């Protein structure tokens, strides 16, 4: 079985990809008319930023013993967290 890469190596690679992506949107991505279905470059960038932020939030939450994603209050008053878990108690991690 292969040894997984060190945490520092994974974070360095994530940082490299983020910088590379943002560099694209500072240059050619800013003026491109390319589309994927109805998505323009700005739509891709908005989703990239959101998912990057959500991933960082989830990593920090799990490292602190919380859920892997944000929690939402359901209409019945319970708390639903990413990953499907449901709690009837109010969550302090929401």
Q: DSSP readout, 59-73? A: HHHHHTT--SS-EEE
92 is a domain residue: no
Quote the number of domains for the chain: 1
**H helix intervals, 1-94:** 7-26, 28-31, 41-63
Residue 28 lies in a domain: yes
Name the β-bridge partners of 29.
Answer: none
For residue 68, what are the domain limits?
Answer: 8-87
Q: Quote the pTM value.
A: 0.50
50-57: list long-range contacts, CB under 8 Å, 24+ apart. 52/18
Residue 2 lies in a domain: no
What pLDDT digit, counting tens, does each position of 42-90 carry? 888 888 888 888 888 888 888 888 877 776 666 776 666 655 544 434 4
Integer CA distances (angstroms), 12 to 27, 89, 92, in order:
23, 38, 31
């Amino acid at each position: 079985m292969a040894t997984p890469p060190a945490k520092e190596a994974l974070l360095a690679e994530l940082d490299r990809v983020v910088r590379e992506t943002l560099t694209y949107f500072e240059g050619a991505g800013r003026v491109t008319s390319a589309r994927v279905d109805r998505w323009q470059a700005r739509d891709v960038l908005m989703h990239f930023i959101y998912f990057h932020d959500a991933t960082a939030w989830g990593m920090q939450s799990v490292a602190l013993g919380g859920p892997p994603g944000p929690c939402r209050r359901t209409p019945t008053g319970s708390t639903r967290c990413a990953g499907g878990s449901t709690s009837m108690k109010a969550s302090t991690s929401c």
